Structure 1
Amino acid sequence: MKSLLLSVVALCSATAALALDPPATLPSWLAGAWEMHEGKSWSDEYWTAPRAGLMIGAARMGKGDTLQMWESTRIERKADGSISFFAQPRGVPAAEFPLVAHGDGMIEFANPAHDYPQRIRYWREGRLLKARISLIDGSKPMEWSYAPLGGD
């Protein structure tokens, strides 16, 4: 039983280490102009292509002609090689969310010390860009499904 427990702990540690190992490149699949419409509500998100270890993003959300929220974001490879997501809603000082997981067409960041969100995840489903924010345990999720801006 003890060896089984040690094996499980070793496997979990190895899996965690793999999840934290940053990707060789930033998520170029995120680059582009994205939009979502649900009735009168709308959301836009824009990401530059990776260059010099940085992707710059911007987002805005509203209803009809009313802007409800805007945000400046970036995904940055830091000097130590780690990757973090930085968010500045309405221009407040940036909050940092270190990389916690990545895969083919998926990247996730988390900061359990932040009030909300604590977890930020982007992934692709075909031509769609999906985004989800939540608390660290996955509760209180908000999700977006973006199509390419001006797409069919």
Structure 2
Amino acid sequence: MRMMAAALSFLLVAASPAATVDDLGWLAGDWVSEADGRWTEESWAPPRGGLMLGHSRSGRGDALREFEFIRIAAGADGTPAYIAMPQGGAPVTFRLVQRDKASATFENAAHDYPQRIAYARAGDTLTATISAIDGSKPRRWTYRRR
């Protein structure tokens, strides 16, 4: 039974049209998470010209602790990729491996941490989770639309 379900799942994925950056437009917006004096903000511009631009920053009180420039663009094979530049450093690319109408998972098994970045949206709530490739060491942020 499991093999049948896995085969059916593979056929459904193989039969679906290739993802584009436009398919990830549900991520666009200004998102904020605040708890215990800590805050994290993430903003995404809507897709245009095959590109989504974003940034995030986090801190405590008035002090900035981290920032990141991020973008989603088609990779060399046309599959969307999440490209992060933590602290403005060298880009790290995570390839889209799974998506539906309101969630997306990007992976880069060769990166130290994180290796997986996942987003899921439900109405005005956005959840972002980073983890190792096997799902261990998860860190999660729950954002609300600003």
Alignment-derived partner of residue 100 in structure 1: 97
Pairing of 1:43-82 with structure 2 (within 5 A):
43-78=40-75, 80-82=77-79
SS in 1 for 2:43: strand
* % identical equivalent positions: 40
Once structures 1 and 2 are overlaid, which stretch shifts more, 91-100 or 72-81?
Answer: 72-81
Q: Separation in 2 of the partners of 1:124 and 1:32?
A: 11
Deviation at 1:8, TM superposition (A): 7.0
Distance change >3 Å, CA 106–CA 19, structure 1 → 2: farther
Structure 1 residues not aligned, in runs of 5+: none
Q: Within 2, Cα distance between the matches of 1:78 and 1:86? A: 10
- Give the whole-Å Cα distance in 2 for the aligned partners of 1:122 and 1:31: 12
How far 1:11 moved relative to its partner?
A: 4.5
Does residue 28 (structure 1) correspond to residue 25 (structure 2)? The answer is yes
Partner of 2:80: 83
**Structure having the higher Rg:** 1
Question: Does structure 1 retain, via aligned residues, the 8 Å contact 2:41–2:56?
Answer: yes
Match of 1:41 in 2: 38
| TM-score normalised according to structure 2 size | 0.88
In the alignment, structure 2 segments of 5+ residues that lack a partner are: none
- Matches of 1:9 and 1:27 in 2, distance apart? 25
With normalisation by structure 1, the TM-score equals: 0.85
- 1:56 CA displacement: 0.4
Does 2:89 align with 1:109? no
Matched positions, count: 146
Query: Which residue in 2 is equivalent to 1:137?
Result: 134
Counterparts of 2:135 and 2:41, CA distance in 1: 23
Over the aligned positions, Cα root-mean-square deviation in angstroms equals 2.4
Bigger shift: residues 74-83 or 87-96: 74-83
- Report the residue type matching 1:76 in the other structure: A
Is the 1:23–1:102 Cα contact (8 Å) retained in structure 2? no
